[in-house]
Amino acid sequence: MMISSPWRADFPAIAALQRQDQTYLDNAATTQKPQALLDALTHYYANGAANVHRAQHLPGAHATQAFEDSRGKVAQWLNAGADGQIIFTHGATSALNLLAYGLEHQFNPGDEIVISALEHHANLLPWQQLALRRDLELIVLPLDADGLIDLDAAASLIGPRTRLLAVSQLSNVLGAWQPLPALLAMAKAHDALTVVDGAQGVVHGRHDVQALGCDFYVCSSHKLYGPDGLGVLFGRNEALRQLRHWQFGGEMVQNADYQHASFRPAPLGFEAGTPPIASVIGLGATLDYLSGLDQDAVNAHEAALHAYLLQGLLARKGLRLLGKPQVALASFVVEGVHNSDVAHLLTEQGIAVRAGHHCAMPLLKSLGLPGAIRVSLALYNDSDDLERFFTALDQALELLR
Amino acid sequence: MNLPAEALSALQTFQAATGWEQRARLLMQWGDRLPALNEAYKIDANRVLGCESQVWLIGDLQDSHWQFAASSDARLIRGLVALLLVRVNGLSAQELQQVDLPEWFNQLGLSRQLSPSRSNGLNAVLQRMRELADR
């Protein structure tokens, strides 16, 4: 069965990588970019860069207009509506750190922060360090055998001391959608704040932050076919009012004296210093491009490709999947073979996949694994990419066994 | 600088290798030949951090010549480490300071294993060796 991607040619880097004999299957780390984004960056830099929200001059007005148009496009992509605002940060990591510092004053010693066992370091370490600073309890929700957050355990662990729940929508290692509606309901029943790490989830399908009902939703641009150096933080209006300012500098201030200052509300009050203007404009172009695609066709393509990947992996002897991946990616180990050796030999054959702990060291440790190989898909991948991977994997395993 | 006999043999074998497959087979053979490291040395203090696999490296001066020993649970990195040890074992402290190890791997046709993005750990092993040598 052939699965071809009608969008492959929209991403010029895929052809360039192919000319270098590289098959790119590390899309959960970062994605290739559509031509529409390259055009937008070129247009911005070739037609007059300017800083935003500062100058009265025409180039400044154009840049500000394009920058704010992008904010609107992101809000629309996430269906933020009038419920909340979009803050631009320097990455998803930066957005989560903003929350961990901006909400710090809300916590008292003994309060509990709840995360899950599968969190990426970006949604673990900011909370872990906050807990250490404020003498809080960090509660880690366990997983069931399929790699989903265990709801029975969650029901007993999320309680009256819970002040904040921060969980991933889609695991970057296990590729499984997490039961967010049930988890968010438990947190809300105890008036806890809710943070969803959508870094992986936002890339697959469309998500509606109003329907989800979380207080904060975090994602990164570069995993969503956008430029790097840019993260997105959606916050519900009431939740945003609880945030204290955390980074200080240009254009986040209302009025400054030598000894004190007052600051702007969200979003600008949380965008200190010159933001990544070109990246914001570029993300807008990427979202225009993505909005023009038939989302049902993209979903169907990703599902077919993922099924093809799982089928091929499970056909290999001694290969074990981590959890029960549902979409986008699959991580695996091979019995009796070190993942670093497999990775080495796949690299030799021009297969770009990821090996190791995937920035989720505690998760890998809890699975008793030193690491795993992860194959992750994007809308431009096709079955030929996967066939090249399978051939290379067979070659590698033959050499190693 | 004259190459130790084993290093010369490694150089000749690897330079004659054609293609990634043959180089991989050779690496695994060299890794298999690496003398086993006493389990007592496989402790955290001897762990090389920054490798995807577990790598241990110890070394000391015997009669003013360096003797290193190492091990890894992954086969290809073990091969790379074996190729490193044949180049440096027996060198005096001054010789070890002078030896150009990236150039050594370059001559073996393995320079890509030293690219900065490689997390296989060869860079970390070289760094650790320098630290041991500077003590």
CA A367 vs CA A23, A319, A321, A383: distances in Å = 29, 15, 12, 30
Active-site entry in B7, B10, B26, B51: B51
Report ipTM for this prediction.
0.91
- Provide the shortest C-alpha distance from residue B54 to chain A (in Å): 9
Q: Are B75 and A370 within 8 A, CB to CB?
A: no
CB contact under 8 Å between A340 and B74, yes or no, is: yes
Which CATH fold topology does B5-134 show? Sufe protein. Chain: A (3.90.1010)
Q: Which residues of B touch A338 (CB under 8 A)?
A: 53, 73-75
The per-residue pLDDT for B7 is 93
Q: Residues A38-53: pLDDT tens digits?
A: 999 999 999 999 999 8
Query: Chain A contacts of B74, Cβ < 8 Å?
Result: 338, 340-341, 344
Which of A359, A373, A393, A396 is an active site residue? A359
Residue B3, pLDDT > 90, answer no
Q: Which of B20, B73, B119 is facing A338, going by the closest CB pair? A: B73
Q: Residues A149-169: what's their mean pLDDT?
A: 98
pLDDT of residue A102: 98
Question: Is the per-residue pLDDT at A356 higher than 80?
Answer: yes
pLDDT given at position B28: 96
Out of B21, B54, B76, name the one closest to residue A341 (CB).
B76
Quote the pTM value: 0.94
Q: In this predicted structure, what is the pLDDT of residue A210? A: 97
Q: What's the whole-number mean pLDDT along residues A134-158?
A: 97
In the predicted model, what is the mean pLDDT of residues A352-362? 90
List, for residues B24-82, the tens digit of each pLDDT value: 999 999 999 999 999 999 999 999 887 778 899 999 999 999 999 999 999 999 999 99
Strand partners, A329: A376
The CATH number of A38-291 is 3.40.640.10
Query: Is the per-residue pLDDT at A325 higher than 80?
Result: yes
**Rounded CA separation A226/A285 (Å):** 8
Q: Is A319 helix (H, G, I), strand (E, B) or coil?
A: strand
The pLDDT score that the predictor gives to residue B121 is 79
Predicted confidence at residue A213, as pLDDT, reads 97
Superfamily of domain A8-25+294-400 in the CATH hierarchy:
Aspartate Aminotransferase, domain 1 (3.90.1150.10)
pLDDT of residue A89: 98
Question: For residue A27, what are its two tokens?
Answer: 């899309």
Torsion, CA A219, CA A195, CA A73, CA A64, rounded to 10:
-90
Active-site residue flag, B18: no
Question: Measured between beta carbons, which residues in chain B are less than 8 angstroms from residue A348?
Answer: 20, 23-24
In angstroms, the separation between the Cα of residue B93 and the nearest Cα of chain A is: 32
Pairwise CB contact (< 8 Å): B21 & A343: no
Ranges A155-164, A321-330, B45-54, B89-98: which has the least confidence: B45-54
Locate B58 and state its tokens: 């110890």
pLDDT at B1 over 60: no
Shortest distance between the Cα of A356 and any Cα of chain B, in A, equals 6
Chain A residues close to B25, C-beta within 8 Å: 399
Share above pLDDT 70 across residues of chain A, in percent, rounded to a whole number = 100
Task: Please say if the pLDDT value at position A4 is more than 60.
Answer: yes
Which whole number is the average pLDDT over A64-93? 97
In chain A, % of residues over pLDDT 90: 96
Report yes or no: A136 and A192 within 8 Å, Cβ to Cβ.
no
Among A224, A113, A130, A235, smallest CA distance to A167 is for A113
The mean per-residue pLDDT over the stretch A224-229 comes to 98
Chain A / chain B CB contacts < 8 angstroms: 45
Contact B82, B31 (CB under 8 A): yes
CA neighbours within 13 Å on the CB side: how many for A85?
17
Calpha distance A385→A213 (Å, rounded): 38
Q: What is the pLDDT of residue A10?
A: 98
Mutation site for B-interface testing, chosen from A20, A21, A26, A338 by largest number of B Cβ within 10 Å: A338
pLDDT at B119 > cutoff 70 = no
Query: Is B133 a residue whose pLDDT tops 90?
Result: no
Question: Given the DSSP bridges, would you call strands A231-236 and A253-256 parallel, antiparallel or unpaired?
Answer: unpaired
Q: What is the pLDDT of residue B118?
A: 59
Domain limits, chain B = 5-134
Q: What is the CA radius of gyration of chain B?
A: 14
According to the model, what pLDDT value does residue B120 have? 60
What is the pLDDT at residue B126? 87
> For B91-115, how does the pLDDT look when each residue is reduced to its tens digit (9 = 90+)?
998 899 889 999 999 999 998 888 7
Question: H-type helices in A103-234, by residue range?
Answer: 125-134, 151-157, 180-189, 209-212
Q: Is residue A174 over pLDDT 80?
A: yes
CB contact under 8 A, B76 and A345: yes
Write out chain A residues lying below 8 Å of B75, CB-based.
338, 341, 400
H/E stretch holding A361: helix A361-366
Q: Cβ contacts of residue B33 below 8 Å, gap of 6+? A: B82
| In the predicted structure, residue A228 carries a pLDDT above the cut 60 | yes
Largest CA distance in chain A: 70
Nearest residue to B68 (alpha-carbon basis) of B54, B84, B79, B55? B84
